[in-house]
Amino acid sequence: MTRDEALDGLSATSAHSRGQAARALANLGKAGDLARIRKALKTETVAYVHYALQDTIKRLTRRVEPQVANGDETAAVPEEVRQQIYGQAVEWVTGFLLHEIASPIGLARLSGKLELGNEWEGSATRRHLETVHRIFDAIEMLKSAAGVARPQEFDLAAMIDELIETETPQAMPWISAIGQKPFLIKGDPALIRMVIGNGLRNAVEAVEAVGTEPQPHSVTINWGEADVDYWVSVLDRGTGIVGPTETAFEVGNSTKKNHSGFGLAIARQAVETMIGVLTLEPARDGGAVYLARWQK
């Protein structure tokens, strides 16, 4: 693509072409193109093209500004800012992926069904596409976890009760939920739901994997607040963590069959969007403890 083609591509009707043009201009563009790129940014409605345009503007601006700072600049970036930048990158990449692969997945499913006819139901093609679909859903969740937090007042204790009932109903007799009730807090309910839901599901799955009858307190959820933050912990008497815990947080790492291994990555991203910390550690008497803290 030439620079002129890229500049024309900014007003293409297809978002895919606008995205390609925006990215190409990061290398081909000149400072004089900034006005046109900024104009395109103003009218752009597709999130990942918007990010590509912003990124290109940043690069072109940086190229024309003299570099005044020197030394190790990364060391000066506060952790909160680093988390925000990381969150934006996650949102950008996931948004791009979803936009690019949504329709090929749909088409592959459609042609698989047509071509295989009666064999479709039991086919390996269908099974593999289901895996792709599961990963796709997980990427979508990761994208929402990286979005902007929208705080509102709600009862955290009621949310935890509801999550136990809906996410892990089979485990209700052996989950203890201990904390102040009601517990009104100000936070983003969708992000907090991701954090607690993933911790709860992992705890219940770990207890079920032990293979013996769960006890009344096999999983304990606690919550509370300190001066500056809220916290929720999930303690389980399950199998315990296999291998290094940081590996468990990486996208796609799962020791379970038919799981995408996105749960902890999604939960950590959601906590970081709220400016907080998420940890998973071995519990003192076996099992694991999952702890989320985020700013008030």
Ligand X SMILES: Nc1ncnc2c1ncn2[C@@H]1O[C@H](COP(=O)(O)OP(=O)(O)OP(=O)(O)O)[C@@H](O)[C@H]1O
Task: Select from ligand X, Mg ion, none the partner in contact with residue 21, using the beta carbon and a kind-dependent cut-off of 5 to 8 Å.
Answer: none
- Best CA proximity match to 221, nearest among 189, 196, 202, 241: 196
Our CB check for ligand X shows the closer of 60 and 280 to be 280
Nearest residue to ligand X, by Cβ distance, number only: 263
Among 200, 203, 235, 292, binds ligand X (CB under 6 A): 203
d(CA 164, CA 167): 6
CB closer to ligand X, 95 vs 238: 238
The C-alpha atoms of residue 6 and residue 132 are separated, in whole angstroms, by 33
Amino acid at 117: G
Which residue stretch of 80-88, 101-109, 168-176, 237-245 sits at the interface with ligand X (rule: CB under 6 A)? 237-245
- Here's the x/- map for ligand X, 56-75, by CB under 6 A: it reads as --------------------
- Using CB under 6 A, which of the segments 24-32, 77-85, 171-179, 257-265 binds ligand X? 257-265
Stretch that binds ligand X, among 70-78, 84-92, 175-183, 263-271 (CB under 6 A): 263-271
| Closest distance to ligand X from the beta carbon of 163 (Å) | 14
Q: How would you list the strands of the sheet with 229-236, edge to edge?
A: 175-178, 219-225, 229-236, 288-295, 276-282
Q: What is the DSSP string of 117-137?
A: GGGSTT-HHHHHHHHHHHHHH
CA distance 33 to 60: 9
Among 95, 238, 270, 271, binds ligand X (CB under 6 A): 238
Report helix, strand or coil for 153. Answer: strand
| Integer Cα distance of 224 and 94 in angstroms | 33
Binding residues vs Mg ion (CB under 5 A): 202, 263
Q: Which helix (H) or strand (E) holds 157?
A: helix 156-167
Nearest to 141 by CA among 102, 90, 107, 100: 90
Closer residue to ligand X, CB minimum distance, 265 or 271: 265
Q: Which does 147 bind (CB under 5 to 8 A by kind): ligand X, Mg ion, none?
A: none
Strand partners, 221: 177, 234
What minimum distance in Å lies between the beta carbon of 98 and Mg ion?
A: 21
175 binds, among ligand X, Mg ion, none (CB under 5 to 8 A by kind): none
Give the count of residues interacting with ligand X (CB under 6 A): 25
Shortest CA distance to 100 belongs to which of 27, 48, 44, 45? 48
Q: Which is nearer to ligand X, 131 or 180 (CB)?
A: 131
Residues that bind ligand X (CB under 6 A): 138, 198, 202-203, 206, 236, 238-242, 248, 253-256, 259-265, 280, 288
